[in-house]
Amino acid sequence: MEVKRERIDPADLRVSKLRAHDMLRDDLEGEDLERHVEQRVVTTTLEKAVSWARGNSFFPLTFGLACCAIEMMSIVGARLDIARFGFEAFRASPRQADLIILSGRVSIKMAPVIRRIYDQMLDPKWAISMGACCSSMGVFNNYALVPADKFLPVSVHVPGCPPRPEALAHGILRLRDQVMGNPPAGWRQRYAAEGTEEFLEADSAAASPAINVFRAGDTAGA
Amino acid sequence: MPDATELELTAQELRDHEAGSVLDTEFHRGRAVLVVDPASVRAVLAHLQGKGYTFLASLHGVDYYPEEPRLGVLYELLDMQRVERISVKARVPTDAPQIESVVELFPTAEFQEREVFDMFGVRFDGHPDLRRILMPEDYEGHPQRRDFPVGGEPVLFTYNEQQSYGKDM
Amino acid sequence: MASLTEDYRRREESITISSEPEGVGEAHELLTLNIGPHHPATHGVLRLLATLEGEVVRDIKPIIGYVHTGIEKTAEDKAYWKAIPVVERMDYLAYYFNAMAFCGAVETLLDIEVPPRAQYLRVIHLELNRIMSHLVWLGTSALDLGAISMFWYCFREREKVLDLFEMSSGQRMHTRYFQVGGVIEDIPPGFALKLRQFCRDMPNRADQYADLLSKNQIVVERLRGTGIVDQRTLLKLGVTGPLLRATGNPWDLRKADPYSSYDHFEFKIPVGTVGDNYDRYAVRHAEFYESTKIIQQALDGLPEGPFITPDRKVALPPRHELATSMEALIHHFKLVTEGFRVPPGEAYYPIEGPRGEYGCFVRADGSAKPARVHMRDPSFVNLQALPHMVRDGYLADLIATLAMLDPILGGIDR
């Protein structure tokens, strides 16, 4: 029987895992050890440390639009104290802030202003869309409002009208988890519900003989 | 509230004072309304101000679609001494939506007339600064008219989420 | 060395700085400063175009519309009871007042009686909301002036009020507790006890706020004598509420034109004398005590009875009736699917809110949806007085005056 020898790419996952095992067993020495440590261990720890620091030191922008702003002010209050997590330093200038909490309804007149403020913030920056109105039009699905996703990338949407201070704190802590590198799993992963999405299959678009079978998407007036 | 008889007396007084000003009177659930000709709104309000209704509580517009004349401007007046309210209604058609401004009589009308202009398109002659107040300056259309659509965004479900915005940002 | 100091001294004394600007000429430059819409001191998204000459404000133009939500248009699209949560969100600190004005207008059009228990419950919640609105005003205004710790004290009290709201309706803000014909639910057991405790504590807390602020040198110097407008100008500008009462005019719709059993209660109207910012602060502060008195009287005299009108064509029947009565089932079905129809007519219902006169105009055209809803919002009208208040004053006084004006942009922009 012929044995074929092939050169395996050192970046291959299996190879790096084996080398990691070797390192732990003290089998890697000298130059090999140093190179391995440089590649695998130091960078990830550094990234993780930086993300840990970033996640624990958000500087939110004082940005209140409407009713949700009052609930945002009460997370600074004494009952639900956001200073426990270190986020009480609300900065007035966007250049000094890295977290914009869009609290309230975004009207079409205000959207370009918000975009300018968001652009003035320095990287890395995050946006929390607080409340139903900026996440998804909320109570008022009409001509005057814009959902926040249309003009800036939002990291966390907090539902509620207005969300309780606890809900907003939960949203901020979820953002903190995301920033620190262990984002919470989406609900489809947690409940093993993969395959429940309603994507239209191209071939099922063909007319089916049954008259009362509606395709996903035929939600008239939903 | 002035009761029905007092309303009729006021209307008669106004008709005597200026012919053709008061077109109709309405009295519904304790609220007295004088329906006046748009051309004599300022005269009617000046007369009522002389009679004691010195406080303009509210100036707002109503769209009476589909009855013509469509756009109504309502003035809610208050007499603080006798605690009585009276309303004045003037209706203008959509093809000629002009009416006199009452900012000189009641300075409180300044913002409120701008809002009626913004939302309904009624032009107030003599207003010092008639611009849009709530919508952006270059907005087209008058949102509160009944034939203006409510608008809005489609509700996002998973099936149309992919075509939505913000995914590539 | 001595000659150098003398030299400096001589030079200092030779510089004359005129304290009164002599008016506009080419020697004086006017600077247009844009304050807002995103600014820590504008109490919401208010944009002010200030024309400054040095530090003195010569003119100011408020630009609004940055939180315009088209609430009035949305309310035309919904049934009457579905429009209540929408209308509540206009002035977001006085949500019960918005709902009260709207429900009052619809009740006038329907010509239905609100039972006395519902009226007293409404008064309790309205006065609690007034206290809560003044607490937020006090906290944020003191924050603007620099008395930062007041923010935490006021929000601590506010949490107590919101606990009471959560007990009675399940929501902290925008509770849709007021319905057409009464209130949606009776108060739960334990609410009366907690409310009594609150009424006992609130005057002490208000005394503490007074101890901190009322005789504080900085507060007095910043607020006394600034932002004065006389009563005639304010009346012509349509200003009502604590701003008008600060000038000495005791106009309050709760006393002048009582609605919802306010004439059963004994309370005073605090008025000011001069009409400066300090009087506005003092009037609102005194309203804490008066509102607590009203709540206590309402709680002591709370009558028994239904909490919503017994007219089943307007109010949902209680759920236990649905199992036994066919009519109740039909009424329930009709109300939930289409809603009640209001005979054609127009109504304007004014009430006294924390900022002034809230008047709701409702036009009904016989269908189940209102044809026009307009809220005469006091903040919108009071904002017209701002240029008069800050003209020829300093920029720092502008901030203090804006705080004392108590504008709520949700009501201004609707």
Q: What is the ipTM of this complex?
A: 0.90
Per residue, the 3-state secondary structure of C370-396, as one string, reads EEEEEEECHHHHHHHHHHHHHCCEEHH
Is A175:A99 a contact under the CB 8 Å cutoff?
A: yes
Cβ separation A74–C92 shorter than 8 A = no
Residue C322 CA to residue C330 CA, distance in Å, equals: 9
Give residues 151 to 170 of A whose Cβ lies within 8 Å of B.
Answer: 152-154
Q: Do B143 and A144 touch (CB under 8 A)?
A: yes
Q: Which amino acid is at C85?
A: P
Instruction: Indicate the residue of A143, A153, A198 with minimum beta-carbon distance to B159.
Output: A198
Could you tell me whether strands B71-79 and B84-92 are parallel, antiparallel, or unpaired per DSSP bridges? antiparallel
Closest C-alpha to C330, from C317, C344, C349, C343: C317
Contact C67 A142 (CB under 8 A): no
For residue range B120-134, list pLDDT tens digits in order: 999 999 898 888 899
Query: pLDDT tens, B41-65?
Result: 998 899 889 888 999 999 999 998 8
Tokens 């709520």 locate to: C408
Give the pLDDT confidence of A55-96 residue by residue, as tens digits: 888 899 988 898 899 999 999 988 988 999 988 888 889 999
Spatial distance between the Cα atoms of C410 and C84, rounded to a whole number of angstroms = 16
Give the pLDDT confidence score for residue C18 in this predicted structure.
47
Query: pLDDT value at position B167?
Result: 45
Which of C372, C380, C382, C412 to probe by mutation at the B interface, max B CB count within 10 Å? C372
Q: What is the pLDDT of residues A162-190, one digit of tens each?
A: 899 999 999 999 889 888 877 777 777 77
| Whole-number pLDDT of residue B61 | 92
Consecutive H or E run containing C131: helix C116-145
Q: Which chains touch B (3 or more CB pairs under 8 A)?
A: A, C
Residue B107, min C-alpha distance to chain C (Å): 5
3-state secondary structure of A52: helix
Find, in chain A, the residue whose alpha carbon is nearest to that of B162. Answer: A199
- In this predicted model, what pLDDT tens digit does every residue of B60-101 receive, in sequence order? 999 988 887 889 999 999 998 988 899 999 999 888 889 999
Q: Is the pLDDT of residue A148 over 90?
A: no
Q: Does A218 touch chain B (CB under 8 A)?
A: no
User: Could you tell me which residues come within 8 angstroms of residue C345 by beta carbon, excluding any fewer than 6 positions away?
Assistant: B28, B29, C109, C363, C364
Rounded distance between C-alpha atoms, residue C140 and residue C129, angstroms: 17
Given a cut of 70, whether residue A8 has pLDDT beyond it is no
Other CB atoms within 10 A of residue C116 CB: 17
Q: Which residues of chain A form beta strands (DSSP E)?
A: 99-103, 126-130, 156-158
CB atoms B33 and C413 under 8 Å: no
Is some CB atom of chain C closer than 8 A to the CB atom of A65? Answer: yes
Whether A149 and B158 lie within 8 Å, measured CB to CB? no
Segment (H or E) for B85: strand B84-92
At B140, is the pLDDT very low, low, confident or very high (cuts 50, 70, 90)?
Answer: confident
> To 10 degrees, the CA torsion angle through B90, B94, B100, B104?
90
Q: What is the pTM of this model?
A: 0.85
Interface of A with B in 182-201 (CB under 8 A): 197-200
How large is the average pLDDT for residues B25-38?
88
Q: Is A186 exposed, middle or buried (0-12, 13-18, 19+ CB in 10 A)?
A: exposed
Higher per-residue pLDDT: C165 or B3: C165
Beta strands in C230-355 (DSSP E): 345-353
Which regions of chain C are under pLDDT 70? Answer: 1-28, 42
Give A11 or A118, the one with higher predicted confidence: A118
Confidence of residue B169 (pLDDT cuts 50, 70, 90): very low
Query: Angle A178-A181-A185 (CA atoms, 0-180°, nearest 5)?
Result: 60
Give the pLDDT confidence score for residue C271 in this predicted structure: 93
Which chain C residue has its CA at the smallest distance from B58's CA? C376
Q: How many CB atoms lie within 10 A of CB A8?
A: 9
B138 contacts chain A (CB < 8 A): no
**One-letter amino acid of C216:** N
Q: Give me the pLDDT at residue B29, please.
A: 87
Distance to chain A for B77, nearest Cα, Å: 30
Tell me whether B139 touches chain C (CB under 8 Å).
Answer: no
